[in-house]
Amino acid sequence: MQIKKISTPIKITILLGIITAIALGIFFGVQELYKSDYPKELLDFSDDYEIDPKLGKHQILKQTNKDAYYVLHYPDTNIDTIDQWIKSQMNHTLKTYPSQPTTDPENKQQIKQLYSINNVQERYLSIQLDTLENNQVVNRTSRVYDVDNQTFINTDIFKPKAIRLLTQHLRDNINLNKNQANIRKIKLDNTFEDLYLTENILIFNYMNQSIPFKYTEHPNYLKLSLGNTEPVDKAIASTYLDYGYEDTKMVALTFDDGPHETYAYQIMDKFEAYSGQATFFVVGQRIPGREQVIVDVLDRGHQIANHSYSHPNFHKLTDAEIIEELIKTETLVKDASGYDESLQVRPPYGNMHKDQISRLGFTIINWDVDSLDWKSKNASTICKATTQYVKDGSIVVMHEIYGSTVESLDCILETLSDQGYKFVTVKELFLAKGIEINPKKPYYRVK
C-alpha cells in the first residue's frame, strides 16, 4: 500500500500545534504551581515600606515545606557587611517560624518578610526587616550602616547619661501596660543596634515596636556626630530608673535628712554590692552646695524624694505653707539635676493631718519599720531594730546624716539578703506589687 506523504505546510502546522500545546501546558502548570505554592498576598509588597532600587536591588527568596510558605523580600545592597546581616536574619526566620507546627496541611502558615531602606547624607544606610507570620509582625530588626567607617552604628554614639534618658523615653512611649514587669526591664546600654535613621529622627526598634526620637533636637545627647547634627557640650538632665524586679521578697530602705556630701556615697556603695537601690528623702535647705549629690544619686539608679524644705512639723502648718515647703524642695532638685517629675513626700516626723493629705494630693510615704538610728546611734542596735521587724513590702526609715547608720548597713544588708530580700526603691516597690498609688492616703508598707 502506498503511504501518502504529508505536505510540508501541514507538517509545520502540526508542529506548531504541538509546541503551542506544550507551551500552554507549561504556562498553566506554572500558574497552578505559582498559585498553590505561593499565595498572591505573600508576593505583594506593601506600600507601607519604603524601598529604593538605587540603594538595593529588590530580591525575593521563596521556599515551602509541610508547615509554611516563605516569601522573603530583601534588598541586595552590594555591601558585604549589610548583605551578610540580611542573610543571617533570613536564615533565622527560616529556622524559627512558624512559631507552631501546621495542624492543617491544606492551609499552611504564611511567613513573609518586608523591608525598608533609606539613606541619610549619602553616609548612613538604614535597613529594617519585618517578619510577618500570618500577616502579624512577629519580629522587627534594623541596622544603620556607616559607609564612611564601614560598620553598623549603635547607642555608643550617645553619652552615657543620655542613654539613661533614652531608656526612659522608650519606657514612656512603648505600647505596654505601664505596670507590666517587662516594661521595667527595658534598659538600654551602649551596644544597642536595632536603629533606623531618617533626616531628623532616630527610630529604636524594641519589642517589635518602632519608637521615634528626634535626635536633632538633642545635640547635647550625642557623643559622636549623626546625620547633619554635631555633638554639643551642654548639661544633660538626670533621671530615675528602677532596675526591674523579680518574684521575690522586697524591702525599701529609706534615708531622711540628706543630702550628705560623704555618707550618701558610702550608702550607695554598700547597696551596689547587693545590686540594690535606696530612696533618699532630702531636705531642701541642705541642697545648696550639694547639688552634685542629687545628680549622682539619680544617675546611680536611686530615688530622690521630698522631706520638706526646712523640716517643720506639718501639723502646725497651713495647706499653703506645706505646699510652699514641698515646691521649694522640688524646684531645688530640678535646678540641681534637671529631674522634672513630682517627688514622693515624707512629712517630717511622719506628721500630716489626714484631711490635709486628702486635700493636697501628694504621695505620702511613711514607714512600718523604724530603725531608731537617731536614738541609739549604735550600728548593732540599729541592725537588730531593723531586721527583726522587716516583712515583704516593708518601708524602713533611717537617716542619712549618721555615721552609725552607714556602719549598720553592712549587717542589715547581709542579714536581709540572706533571708531572700531584694533592696528596692519605694517607687519600685509599688510597681513590683502592682499597687496603683492613691494620693489621698499615706503609705506605711506596700502589700
pLDDT digits (tens, 9 = 90+) for 227-274: 999 999 999 999 888 876 667 899 999 999 999 999 999 999 999 999
* Strand 195-197 to 202-206 pairing: antiparallel
Q: For residue 321, what pLDDT is reported?
A: 98
* Strand 202-206 to 209-213 pairing: antiparallel
The owner of cell 509546541 is: 19
Q: For residue 31, what pLDDT is reported?
A: 44
Q: For residue 71, give the nearest of 101, 51, 45, 95 by alpha carbon.
A: 45
Q: For residue 178, what pLDDT is reported?
A: 60
Q: Which runs of consecutive H residues, i.e. helices, occur in 204-339?
A: 263-272, 291-299, 319-337
Q: What CA dihedral angle connects 101, 103, 108 and 109, to 10 degrees?
A: -50
Q: For residue 18, what pLDDT is reported?
A: 62
Q: Distances in Å between the alpha carbon of 411 and those of 154, 380, 406?
A: 42, 8, 10
Which residues partner with 109 through β-bridges? 68
pLDDT by residue, tens only, the chain of 447 residues: 444 455 666 656 666 666 655 555 544 444 444 444 689 999 998 888 988 999 999 999 999 999 999 999 999 999 999 999 999 999 999 999 999 888 887 889 999 999 999 999 999 999 999 999 999 999 999 999 999 999 999 999 999 999 999 999 999 999 987 656 577 788 899 999 999 999 999 999 999 999 999 999 999 999 999 999 999 999 999 988 887 666 789 999 999 999 999 999 999 999 999 999 999 999 999 999 999 999 999 999 999 999 999 999 999 999 999 999 999 999 999 999 999 999 999 999 999 999 999 999 999 999 999 999 999 999 999 999 999 999 999 999 999 999 999 999 999 999 999 999 999 999 999 988 888 899 999 999 998
Q: What is the DSSP letter of 350?
A: G
The three cell numbers locating residue 367:
514607714
Q: For residue 2, what pLDDT is reported?
A: 47
* Strand 369-370 to 394-399 pairing: parallel
Q: For residue 25, what pLDDT is reported?
A: 52
What are the b/e assignments for 357-396, b being 16+ CB within 10 Å?
Answer: beebebbbbbbbbbbebbebbebebbbbbbbeebebbbbb
Residue 421 CA to residue 409 CA, distance in Å, equals 14
Q: Phi, psi at residue 90, to the nearest 5°?
A: -70, -40
Residue 431 CA to residue 446 CA, distance in Å, equals 10
Is 409 in contact with 263 (CB distance < 8 Å)? Answer: no
What pTM did the predictor assign?
A: 0.79
Q: For residue 13, what pLDDT is reported?
A: 62
